[in-house]
Structure formats: C-alpha cells, structure tokens
Amino acid sequence: MNRAVRLAMVMVLVSLAPLFAQVPFERLVNSHLEPESWLTYSGSYDSHRFSHLDQITKDNVGNLSPKWVYQMRRPGLVETTPIVYDGVMYLTESPSNVTALDAGTGRTLWRWTRPMPEDLRNIGFPRVNRGVAVLDNRIFVATLDGYLFALDAASGSVRWETHVADNATGHSFTLAPLAIDGKVIVGTSGGEAGIRGFLDAYDAETGQQVWRFWTIPGPGEPGIETWGGNSWMNGAGATWLTGSYDPELNLLYWGIGNPGPDWNGDVRPGDNLYTSSVVALDADSGTLAWHFQFTPHDTHDWDANQIPVLIDREWEGEERRLLILANRNAFYYVLDRKTGEFLHGNEYSKQTWATGLDENGRPLEIPGMEPSYDGTLVWPSLQGATNWFSPSYSPDTGALYVSIREMGSYYFKSDVEFEEGEPYLGGGEQALRGDDAQGWVYALDALTGERRWQFRLLSPPWSGVMATAGGLVIGGSQEGNVYALDDDTGEPLWSFFVGGAVRTNPMSFSHQGTQYIVMAGGNSLFVFGL
C-alpha cells in the first residue's frame, strides 16, 4: 500500500484504534483531531505546540488555579513536557526516570527508575530529560547513560533496551524521542565533548537499529570538503533536541548542533557541514534529502537545535509547504520544506555579527566578530536570541510566539587539543547580565518574521510558550511566574507564582470535559484548571 492510500484510511483506522493498540501511528498523524490529548513532545508532528482546546479563554483565564501538583521524587532541573492520552500522564524526572500519573488527580500509577553510573559524564549540559515518546502500547525514553528503552505503557516494565552510544566518550541523551511509523528517532547530546554527532532510527518492536545519519560527513561523503584535515573526526554536530516530521512527504526535520571545538575555529577551517543546520531526512532510510546551514563555520556556539515548525501557507500566490525557524543566531528563516529552498530571512532580535543575509540565506558577516584571546563583544550571547525551549505557532493568528533572551557576551578563544571524553571547547564566554540582559516574548509574523508585539519579562527566560484556541499564549519566567498573554496584543491576563524557576514548555490537555494547562516550576509540576 502506498503512503497516499495509507493516509487516506486514517479516519477508519483511528476509529478502530483500540482493537490494535493504544496509540497507533495514525493517531499520532491526526493528533489535531483529539485536542484532549498531548501525543508528542511538541504536541504534533508539525511542532506547533498549539492547543486546539478553547474552554480556557481570554475572558475566564483569570479564574485559573492549581487543581493538583506533583512533586518530583528527585531534586534537579525539570525540563520535561508530559505526554497525555486516555486519562494517563507520562513524564520524565531527573536524571532519566519515567512516571505515569492519573491525569485527573496526579495519583502515581507506576514509576520506572534508571540507575546512573557513578562516573556518568554530562559535558556541557545539565542532567535533564525532556520527555518520552509513545507508539502503540509502548513508552520510549532515552537516558543520560546512552541507552534507549521501550517500556510497557500499562505497567512500566521494560520491553526492550538498546545501548545506543558510549557515555564514556561524551555521548548522552536528554531529548524526548520522536516516534513515527514503526520507528523511534533519537539524537545525541555531547557537542562540547568533541563527539561525531548522529541521528538514529530504531525499530519500535525490537529495538534494532534501522539507520544512522552522521551529522559530520566522513571521507568520501558529500560535505567532507567543508572540514579541514581530520577535524571532522571530532566535529560535534549534536542532535540533542526533538525534531519535526511531515508524514505525507515522509521527511524528518532535525536541527544540528554547533561544531567542535566551540570557539576556536582555526582548527576546523571551512563551513563545517552539517553543523548549525537543519537537515531533511527520508524517514525510511535516513538519507539526506536537503540541508540548510544557518551559521557556516559557527564560532559562537549558536547551533541550530531550535524546533523546526512546519506550516502550510500561501507564499507569493502559491500554496507552499514551509519550514519556519527563529534561530539562535538572532535571524528568522522561511524555507520550502520540500526542497530546502531559502525563501526569506530577517533579523528578529538584537545581533551585531552580520549585516544581513544574502539571496541564498547565507549571513553577511561583519569582520572582527570572531572570538579572540582578549575577548570580543557580540550579540547574541552563546545562549542565543532563543534556545532549546519551544516556540508556538497559532493557525488562528498566523503568528509564531518565541521566548527571547536579549544578551551579549564577550567571546574568548583559547588553544585546544582533543582528549576523548573531556571538554573540547577552545575558549569560553562572559555574558552581560543584570541591566544589560533582557527577556521578552515576541509575536512574529510567521511569513515575514516582523514583530507584531512584545511582552517584557523581568529577566531572560528558560521557558517556552504555547498558544491556544482560547486566544492565549502561556509561558513562564525565571522568577517563578506562570502567565497568560492575549495572543493578539500581548496584554498580560493572568499569572501565578509557583515558587521556583520555570524551565520547561507548557502543554494542555482535557480530562472528563475539563481543560487543564500544565507547567513545571521549581521541582513541581502544576496542573491548572478553571
């Protein structure tokens, strides 16, 4: 059966889903048909992080209050986005544990714990886990020590485990996997350890590897000419955040991390493909369909692991499949997601390293902005104009909502030699903080990248946003506030102090006819309702 016929049968298969499995692939494809659930990390394969629920509105959001709160069992940063379906919430806890909760009450149903080795290496990132994936009757989690597990959704028992990569060499997993048709996609952290990055697909039934895409090409492969000498061997290019998927094109879209070493580009002359790029891969084979590099020869650790957002909109009088992305380098991009063609780009946040983009989307760099032994002041900071936390696209307003970190940094270069399993940085940075740093939520026109409105935060955020059909934009702050904004104007409508920094992404679900909004703060998960 070809893919077009398969997708045409979706509605029939969804109605028969209980006969086959809890969450078959067809249910994931059509997540928009059941807004009461939250079935993938970003809520849908197109990564809109948009809730179609509209019970909570601009008029009644002021009545939101906590309905239940879950205390994490271990202290640590909370960056998980829960999965919710059929009355059960699945979330990860630090360092790589999974918990299933009753979605209506927060009562624990089961808990799976992954012991970590005493010599666990997490070079350049905290010990976090951002969530699970679901497919059929299994929950999938990737762990800090380099494994991928399939758990029984009903009991939490291990169905299979696969050793993906060696943690001793700096590889680790912090992302939520992405489950597609019969496969689980997982990418690696460890870009600051001089790894050679990859993206893997595993058979969802057996855990056997289906394919591997190396983000750093080797000898004889296209792109190797963009690496001087043997620098490709430790070129980094981590894939540490969840990508997006177009089931009709059968293409995966994944952001690729920075090159290694981060701040000394002298040892890796060239553009350093496929770092700081987005790649489109055939989901069946892992072969490269196209790539687009946002920051060639990146020496500021800006990478491109921001979430690629997929939209179908009219472009110059023609319906196009588009990929939009607010990059860490402070430029906004619109690409044709079928071909990778650059359609539009513009500066969306303060930056001092480029005068703009050329007709192909390549940055027009300002001389002298490279890291130096004495330090070079550049906007944005290495944390970027935005970072790992999710944007949100509203089909109702046509805007992309983005959390913004407006900061500059002094970038320093140092001499460096590679040593396996050790930091491979080639320098560092000193960020401008306090009054020199600002935090915002921007509403950007999805087609032009132009700012419609902005909402000032007290400090640069580490939390993503979610738009809803109720006309809201939900977010959180470092100061411990969860807030709701008017999606048309940015006017603040509601806030709640959770008592700890918010470092995750919001999501929403409905249980027994009641809509809830979920956000973590400090070491707790808050579930709000009217």
Active site members: 301
C-beta separation of 472 from 58 below 8 A? yes
In 3D, which of 162, 138, 166 has the Cα closest to residue 149? 162
Distance of CA 109 to the CA centre of its chain: 28
What is the enclosing helix (H) or strand (E) of 142? strand 138-142
> Are 350 and 380 a contacting pair, CB within 8 Å?
yes
Residue 228 gets which letter from DSSP?
Answer: -
Contact present, 286 and 253 (Cβ < 8 Å) = no
Cβ-count burial of 410 within 10 angstroms (0-12 exposed, 13-18 middle, 19+ buried)?
A: middle
Residue 366, phi then psi, degrees to nearest 5: -85, 125
Q: Cβ atoms within 10 A of the Cβ of 326, count?
A: 26
Dihedrals φ, ψ of 11, to 5°? -60, -40
Around Cβ 63, how many Cβ atoms within 10 Å?
11
- Number of Cβ within 10 Å of residue 411's Cβ equals 26
Strand-pair partners of 101: 89, 108
Is residue 381 within 8 A of residue 301, CB to CB? The reply is no
DSSP symbol at 267:
G
> How far apart are the C-alpha atoms of 161 and 396, rounded to whole Å?
42
**Is residue 519 within 8 Å of 526, Cβ to Cβ?**
yes
Q: Is the CB of residue 353 less than 8 Å from the CB of residue 369?
A: yes
Specify the residue for token string 């080797």.
218
In the chain, helix, strand, coil percent, each to 5? 10, 40, 50
CA 246, CA 280: separation in Å to the nearest integer? Answer: 10
Contact assessment for residue 425 and residue 411, using Cβ atoms and an 8 Å cutoff:
no
CA-to-CA distance for 91 and 84, rounded, in angstroms? Answer: 9
Tokens at 363, concatenated: 């940055």
- 449, amino acid identity: G
Check if the beta carbon of residue 61 is closer than 8 Å to that of residue 107. no
Phi, psi dihedrals of residue 203, rounded to the nearest 5°: -65, 125
Give helix then strand counts, H and E, for the chain: 4, 38
